Structures are given as C-alpha cells and as structure tokens.
Amino acid sequence: MPLLSSPTTASAPTILSTHTYPHRSVPKTSISHPINISWIVPDEYLPFLSFSDLPDNIDLFDLTDPAMAKQLEPQLEKARSNLRPPSRRMGNLALSSCPGKKVRLTGPVRGRAAINRDLDLDFARMRSFGITTLVCCLDDNELGFLGASWPKYYEAAKRHNLDIIRLPMVEGSCPETIADIHAVVQMVDDKIRQGENVLTHCRGGVGRAGLFACCWLLKNLLCLSAERAIRYVRIRRSVKAIETMRQAEFIIHYSHYVGKLLDQQQHRDLDQKAGFSVSSSPSSSLSPRPLLMAHTDHTLAVPSVSDISSLERAMRIGQANPSQTAQAL
C-alpha cells in the first residue's frame, strides 16, 4: 500500500521503503485441503473380490492397464458367473498422511507450504468414508513432532469411534521382524473381511504406510510379486511410495514368507486328499529375531523400479542357492 504524505511535506518526493518482507504463505488446513485418502482396491473390483479370488496369474497391477483389463474381462466375468453374490461386501484399505499434522508453520521450506491440520476434522472425514480402524506407523516422538501428540491423537480417535493399531517404524525404515507386520496384516484382514474400511498412515502416507499396503496386497495375492506391489501402490497413492531400498528389501522378504505359507497350504491340501491328518491351518514359523537386512541406510531416496526388480531377482537367486546370496546382493 503506498505511503501517504503529510500536508507539510506535500511538495517533497515520497520515499517508498525498498525493504522486502519474507513471503508467508497461507497454511494448508483440513478445511482448505481436506486430507487426501487413497484407496488401494478400485471400487469397481470390490463386489467381485468380496466373493472370489482373482483368476490365477492375474493381479491388480495387470488391471491398471486398460488394454490388459479389457483382455482379462472374459476371465473375470466367468469367475463372477460361477459364484453367488456375497452376503457382505468386503471393506477396503486406504492410505493418508498423518491426521492433525502441523509442519513448517513459520513459513515454506524449499517451496513446500506450511501445513496446519486439525485432528477432529481429519478423523471426521475418515469416518465419513466408513473407516473404522487406523494403522498408525508413527511412534510417540514423531507424533509429537508433527503436532499430533499421542494423548491428543488417542482422545480424538476415541471421540470419532476409531480403533487404533500401532505399528511404529523409523522414517525410511521398516518393522524389525516379519512377525511384527504379519500380525497387523492379519488383524486388518479380519476387519476388511467383515466389511470395514481400514486406513494406514505415516507422516506423508507414502513410505511406511506404502510398505504396509504392499504387504497386505501380497498376503491376499492381490499382487503377485514385491515389485508389482510397489508399482501398484505407486499408481494408487504416489510415485514416491516406498522411499528406500531398505523398505523395498523388507517387502521382498515378506513376499518370500507369503510364498512359504502358500507352499505349506498346498502340502496340507495334498495330505488331506491322501487321507492324512493335518492341522487346521499352515504353521507360520516366524522368528522373533530382527531380519538380517542387506540395506541398512534409511535415508530417503526413492528407488527406481529397475533397482527394485534387480534386488528381487538377486534375493530370489539367493533363496534358491544361499551360498550365492552375498554375491547376488
């Protein structure tokens, strides 16, 4: 706004200040930018998946290609026609950033705007989508750093009738054991089979939450390899999903574990056909010890698809021939 001169100095030239003040952007809020919720399974496939598995050798990544989806439609239609409609439609898995997040409030950092979210508004939006359970991938310290301290988070979730499952991971990293994540995947599976929607989040909803989504997809055979699960989550959520090679390696380890479960199930089925007594479910021998990971660095550096593919191939070779593991990696 121009300076107004006084009557006694009307004839003097007006001097405008050349000092510039730092630009302060308007923070993104839960009202101006409602929390972005990304659904993992497309809505059009939920009725089918509620009463049938995908046909063999087809996964959700195949169906992201319109030409492939059209080509596979006869197989999907055949599977639909052979089964009765479900009594209950399955739920879905969603990803988001941290509800109630407050960062960069003093101004933009490297072009990234301030964020000042509200826990109650974010949780209310989640409930409006039928979400009943949250998988929180943050520990108490990180929640506090993001302005959503655990006591506030917990109380707000209770007000909105949201259940919470804790699965804390260090940024850029992963759970310490397969057992840690598998237990949560099974809990989430139970909820989704009952028709409930579950949301998982970390700080931005791409790295640690993306890792959980990949494991859930692999456990349910909705993606048939770690690489395909990662590529699929990048399509559904963000091209930056899975932010480190350490996270990619963990997903590959989990994929191998799911493969072992399937092998056990096949052996059980064969034994049952042969008349042998078998246990009610395959045994999942999970070591409580932390995984031995080749990648220890969890500095954020989004790995390329080719790097992930090479790692998965190398780990497959190592699994078939353990003596070659170190050389392959």
Residue 109, pLDDT score: 64
Residue 1, pLDDT score: 41
Residue 279, pLDDT score: 58
Q: How far apart are CA 175 and CA 258, in angstroms?
A: 16
Cα angle vertex 306, ends 262, 309, to 5°? Answer: 15
Structural domains in the chain, CATH included, are 33-64+85-241 (3.90.190.10)
Quickly tell me which residue has 């991971």 as its tokens.
169
Task: Report the chain's terminal Cα–Cα distance, integer Å.
Answer: 63
Residue 20, pLDDT score: 45
Residue 26, pLDDT score: 85
Judge contact between 96 and 35, C-beta under 8 A: yes
Q: How far apart are CA 103 and CA 49, in angstroms?
A: 39
pLDDT in tens, the chain (329 residues): 443 443 443 444 444 444 444 555 688 999 999 999 999 999 989 988 988 888 888 999 999 999 988 988 887 787 777 666 666 789 999 999 999 999 977 766 666 788 999 999 999 999 999 999 999 999 999 999 999 999 999 999 999 999 999 999 999 999 999 999 999 999 999 999 999 999 999 999 999 999 999 999 999 999 999 999 999 999 999 999 999 999 999 999 999 999 999 888 776 656 555 566 555 555 556 666 788 899 999 899 999 999 999 999 999 987 755 444 444 44
